[in-house]
């Protein structure tokens, strides 16, 4: 009687080089390809379907090892388990176990690397890295990301929650994002221990309770003409930039990083690209006559409209604050002039609220309104900014 199993011998395996399949029995086959490669196969039927599973090359897997692997596969089949599915599950478990060994620092660095291209402000990456390096990494950095729980998150955040509340709040949000990224990658599971709503808000006092919101210091609008008149008496790029910030009601960074390619003096307009806008959407700014005069008088020395002391770099935010300090107005911030503009428009003009909000490039919070408002109300905003320019220069 022919043998049903163990048909092959180690000597025969070494000598079989002609292309084909040679059975050892029990579903185990030696496969020799036309290219000369030789490997083991386990062939079987499951639920009426023929399948085969590779067991490895002959030079790495011996005949006895291949027989053991085939025997293990037959045992799985007796239990109704597909050997291929079982092997895939084992590999997934091994990969997951390896992945779960990734540290919090590794995940944070990979998160920053993956997202930094979408961060408009170059300072954003530095702030991310700095806060994590200072507060999170000393506690969490070397730990497997899968092991981080609420107690560890609190160990990072709680010590500075009352003394550096804003920093602590940003830090919490960044830890939450890193842990969400790790979960999406399969490095951890379960609820995020750094989430605020319904979790940490039960363990820590609200930010507003320990650090009340402080708005940017703003000048009352009735005092703006006098300040602008004083500002016009000052020479220098910083003074002209600050005056332009006030007259256009843009955010400070939007003015500081303005380039000549964005300015169209003939059309009296300034188009700020989406990548430089807080809302990620292109914003057209109508330029009042005084702003056109300011820009027309500036020398075109390089890319930036308001160049700084360093070649190829714009003015810094400190340059504008220095102008205010020299004017004896340390109580003011450049961002606060947007509030001055908003108060003036609301209390002294009949311009619709949506025109004023669009002039400030505020996001539309209503999905319905956003769906229907597709224009940028530019002609109406030009009239608004011309009225503001006249008011600021004392001609209204």
Task: For the chain, give the mean pLDDT.
Answer: 88
3-state secondary structure 305-363: CCECCCCCCECCHHHHHHHHHHCCCCCCCCCHHHHHHHHHHHHHCCCCHHHHHHHCCCC
Confidence of residue 124 (pLDDT cuts 50, 70, 90): confident
pLDDT at 184 over 60: yes
- pTM for the structure as a whole: 0.54
Confidence of residue 2 (pLDDT cuts 50, 70, 90): very low
pLDDT of residue 368: 41
Lowest mean pLDDT among 80-84, 208-212, 264-268, 364-368: 364-368
d(CA 136, CA 176): 12
In tens, the pLDDT along 17-72 reads 999 999 999 999 999 999 999 999 999 998 888 999 999 999 999 999 999 999 99
Where do the CATH 1.10.443 domains begin and end in the chain? 221-392
Architecture of domain 10-99: 2-Layer Sandwich (3.30)
What interhelical angle do 289-297 and 378-392 show, nearest 10? Answer: 80
Where do the CATH 3.30.160.390 domains begin and end in the chain? 10-99
In 3D space, the residue among 96, 93, 177 whose CA is nearest the CA of residue 132 turns out to be 177
Phi, psi of 57 (to 5 degrees): -75, 155
pLDDT of residue 96: 62
d(CA 315, CA 219): 23
d(CA 198, CA 219): 39
Q: Does domain 221-392 have CATH number 1.10.150?
A: no
CB atoms within 10 A of CB 257: 20
In 3D space, the residue among 76, 86, 83, 70 whose CA is nearest the CA of residue 4 turns out to be 70
3-state secondary structure 241-255: HHHHHHHHCCCHHHH
In tens, the pLDDT along 215-229 reads 556 789 999 999 999
In tens, the pLDDT along 152-172 reads 999 999 999 988 888 899 999
* Residues 34, 48 contacting (CB under 8 angstroms): no
Confidence of residue 268 (pLDDT cuts 50, 70, 90): very high
* Comparison of pLDDT for 208 and 14, the residue scoring more: 14
d(CA 95, CA 153): 26
Q: What is the mean pLDDT of residues 264-275?
A: 94
pLDDT of residue 316: 86
pLDDT of residue 100: 60
CA 56 to chain centre: 43
pLDDT of residue 373: 52
- If phi > 0 it is left, if psi is from -120 to 50 it is alpha, else beta; for residue 272 that is beta
d(CA 63, CA 29): 10
Architecture of domain 104-210: Orthogonal Bundle (1.10)
């Amino acid at each position: 009687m022919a043998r049903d199993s163990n048909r092959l011998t180690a000597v025969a395996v070494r000598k079989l080089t002609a292309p084909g399949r040679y059975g050892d029995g029990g579903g185990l086959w030696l496969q020799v390809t036309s290219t000369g490669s030789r490997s083991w196969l386990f062939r079987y039927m499951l639920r009426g379907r023929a399948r085969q599973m590779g067991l490895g090359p002959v030079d790495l897997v011996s005949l006895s090892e291949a027989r053991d692997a085939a025997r293990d596969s037959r045992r799985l089949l007796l239990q109704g388990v597909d050997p291929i599915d079982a092997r895939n599950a084992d590999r997934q478990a091994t990969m997951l176990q390896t992945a779960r060994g990734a540290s919090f620092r590794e995940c944070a660095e990979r998160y920053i690397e993956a997202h930094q291209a979408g961060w408009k402000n170059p300072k954003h990456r530095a702030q991310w890295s700095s806060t994590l390096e200072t507060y999170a990494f000393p506690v969490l950095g070397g730990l497997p990301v899968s092991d981080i729980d609420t107690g560890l998150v609190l160990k990072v955040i709680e010590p500075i929650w009352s003394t550096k509340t804003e920093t602590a709040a940003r830090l919490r949000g960044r830890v939450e994002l890193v842990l969400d990224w790790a979960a999406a990658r399969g490095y951890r599971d379960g609820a995020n221990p750094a989430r605020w709503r319904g979790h940490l808000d039960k363990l820590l006092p609200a930010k507003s309770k320990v650090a009340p919101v402080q708005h940017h210091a703003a000048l009352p609008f009735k005092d703006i003409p006098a300040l602008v008149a004083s500002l016009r008496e000052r020479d220098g790029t910083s003074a002209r930039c600050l005056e332009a910030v006030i007259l256009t009601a843009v955010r400070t960074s939007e003015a500081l990083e303005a380039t000549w390619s964005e300015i169209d003096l003939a059309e009296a307009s300034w188009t700020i690209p989406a990548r430089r806008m807080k809302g990620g959407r292109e914003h057209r700014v109508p330029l009042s006559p005084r702003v056109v005069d300011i820009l027309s008088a500036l020398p075109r020395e390089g890319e930036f409209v308001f160049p700084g002391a360093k070649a190829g770099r714009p003015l810094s935010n400190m340059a504008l604050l220095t102008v205010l300090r020299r004017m004896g107005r340390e109580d003011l911030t450049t961002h606060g002039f947007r509030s001055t503009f908003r108060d003036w428009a609301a209390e002294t003009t009949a311009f619709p609220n949506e025109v004023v909000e669009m002039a400030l490039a505020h996001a539309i919070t209503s999905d319905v309104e956003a769906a229907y408002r597709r224009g940028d109300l530019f002609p109406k905003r030009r009239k608004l900014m011309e009225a503001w320019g006249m008011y600021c220069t004392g001609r209204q």
